[in-house]
Amino acid sequence: MPMPSAVTLTVNGAEVSVPQGATVAAAVAMAGQPCRVSVSGSPRGPLCGMGICFECRVRIDGRSHCRSCQILCEPGMDVKTDE
Partner 1 sequence: MNQFAYDVVIVGAGIVGAACALAFAERGLRVVVVDREMVGGGATAAGMGHIVVMDDSEAQFALTRYSQRLWQKLRPQLPDDVEYEQCGTIWVAADEEEMAEVLRKQRYYRDRGVPAEVLDPSQLKDLEPNLRSGLAGGLLVPEDGVLYPPCAGRFLIEQAQKQGAKIRVGAPVVKAGGGMVQLGNGVEISGQIIVNASGSCSPGLTAGIEVRKRKGHLVITDRYPGFVHHQLVELGYLKSAHSHTSNSVAFNVQPRRTGQVLIGSSRQYGAEHKAVDQEILARMLQRAQEYMPGLGAMSAIRVWTGFRAATPDKLPLIGPWPGDRTLFLATGHEGLGITTSLGTASVLLDQITGTKPEIPFEPYLPSRAAQEYAHA
Residues at the interface with partner 1 (CB under 8 A): 39, 63-65, 83
CA distances from 25 to 1, 2, 5, 69 (A): 25, 24, 18, 5
In the bound state with partner 1, the residue whose beta carbon lies nearer, of 16 and 60, is 60
CB of 67 to partner 1, least distance (A): 9
Q: How far apart are the C-alpha atoms of 58 and 81, rounded to whole Å?
A: 5
CB of 29 to partner 1, least distance (A): 22
Distance CA 81, CA 60 (A): 9
| Residue 11 CB, nearest approach to partner 1 (Å) | 21
Task: Rank residues 22 and 80 by Cβ distance to partner 1 and give the closer one.
Answer: 80
